[in-house]
Amino acid sequence: MNIKLVGGAALGLATVLVLSSCGSGGSGGSGGDDQASGGGQVTLKMVAADYGSGPGKPDSGENFWKGVVDEFQAANPNIKVDVQVINWNDIDKQVATMIQNGQVPDILQTGGYSGFVNDSLLYKVDEVLSPEVSGDMLQKFSDFGKVDGTAYGIPFVSSARALFYNKDLFEKAGIAEPPKTWDELKADAEKLKKAGVTQPFGLPLGQEEAQAESFLWMLGNGGGYQDASGKWAINSPQNVETFTYMKGLVEAGLTTPNPGTKDRKTVWEDFGAGKVGMVNGGPMSIPIFDAAGLKNYGVAPIPGKAGPLDTTLGVMDWIMAFNKNGHAAEIKKFFDFFYTGSAAQKISDTYKLLPVTNGGIKKLEGDEKLKPFLDALPNASFYPFTDPKWEAVSAQVKQTIGGAVSDDPAKVLGDLQKTAEAAG
């Protein structure tokens, strides 16, 4: 089965934050002894991506995980959890360095897992998650956590993407409805530009999540990172045509200036501030728009070359357990606590991300803001998570694909194709 998957849900700014829970400060991630001194207490070391707005903000990853860990430790006094929260731009590089240096965490929450499977670094899911919790997971999502039939990745949060448009700016520009095709998008962008909108279409192709924005455009032309047989097809004729079209929008001044240097959070903030007419986003964009005071916006299917997408980017992030320190029993307690208690629901409440369990989805069915995204999940397309090469390919996409709208699209995509074919 050809699976197109996308990782990396909502990204925070944030510099590295270290959360040492309940005065356990001293364990600090230096590797070596994993037992806290005295009492047979175990310290689990966890590394997590920041879904919040950055350090010191109410929605920071530090604050979120402190609440979860404090509650867990109150119920499990012999298990401490030290959480290091890292922003999405840096987490993959920092985790790779930790592992190279032998400082392997017990738990990692990030955008992908399969790159660790070949090196036999991960526990199998059934070793660290109870059958009751596994059984409540959305089956399609759980299946994406398998490599060669064995589950290693545990779905953490999910999301889907749609087109947001500023209704006030559309009215000012004389646009009656959101675009359904690329050419309609271009025509609407031209009208917005004439009406004085500085960024008619928000186009974030910076390293924060360039792989997602790129994939949405690829889907609009029948393309993707891999073809129907699972072979890498980054420089396919469809994808080259797609980025050539996008480059034309950039050169016409109809997008965010210098898209390859712009992260999505910055563009979403600009949309919230009324500077952007249209932007692709997800439910995790909504708190940013709310914080900026933007209320009069609409949500529509993402335009494709010939019509609206009949599928969209499904975003799924992962949590996984490393086997080096031998803490399967303690990790299982923490995972079961997370999924059966209030923590998973708090993620949805705080970050407007979608649950990965049947029970969690049912709790959100009445939320009108989330409905378009919940409805899109069943038919979503995803990054090739289960391909062990995806981690390396995704990292390179984030770094370089922005150049496809400023330089030669065929060359930039061709270089990425070579990376994919050579990745170990």
pLDDT in tens, 109-121: 998 898 899 889 9
Q: Indicate which CATH number applies to the domain containing 346.
A: 3.40.190.10
What is the per-residue pLDDT for 19?
31
402 and 416 assigned to the same domain: yes
Mean pLDDT of 178-203: 98
* 8 lies in some domain: no
74 and 171 assigned to the same domain: no
Model pTM score? 0.76
307 and 172 assigned to the same domain: yes
327 and 393 assigned to the same domain: no
Q: Which two tokens stand for residue 289?
A: 């728009």
* 415 lies in some domain: yes
* 375 lies in some domain: yes
263 and 412 assigned to the same domain: yes
178 and 213 assigned to the same domain: yes
What is the per-residue pLDDT for 377?
84
270 and 324 assigned to the same domain: no
pLDDT at 264 over 80: yes
314-370 confidence digits (pLDDT tens): 988 999 999 999 999 999 999 999 998 888 888 888 888 888 888 888 888 888 888
* 6 lies in some domain: no
What is the per-residue pLDDT for 140?
83
151 and 166 assigned to the same domain: no
274 and 248 assigned to the same domain: yes
- Lowest-confidence region among 16-30, 70-84, 198-212, 334-348: 16-30
* 2 lies in some domain: no
151 and 278 assigned to the same domain: no
154 and 64 assigned to the same domain: yes
Q: What is the Cα–Cα distance from 299 to 51, expressed in whole angstroms? A: 22
To which residue do tokens 């914080």 refer?
291
pLDDT at 382 over 60: yes
Question: Residue 134 sits in which domain range?
Answer: 17-159+315-379
What is the per-residue pLDDT for 91?
93
Name the pLDDT band for 424 (thresholds 50, 70, 90): low
Query: Which one, of 339, 320, 318, lies nearest residue 328 by Cα?
Result: 320
pLDDT at 223 over 80: yes
Q: What is the Cα–Cα distance from 288 to 270, expressed in whole angstroms? A: 10
Mean pLDDT of 156-166: 95
265 and 399 assigned to the same domain: yes
> How many domains, in total, are found in the chain?
2
* 384 lies in some domain: no
* 5 lies in some domain: no
pLDDT at 200 over 90: yes
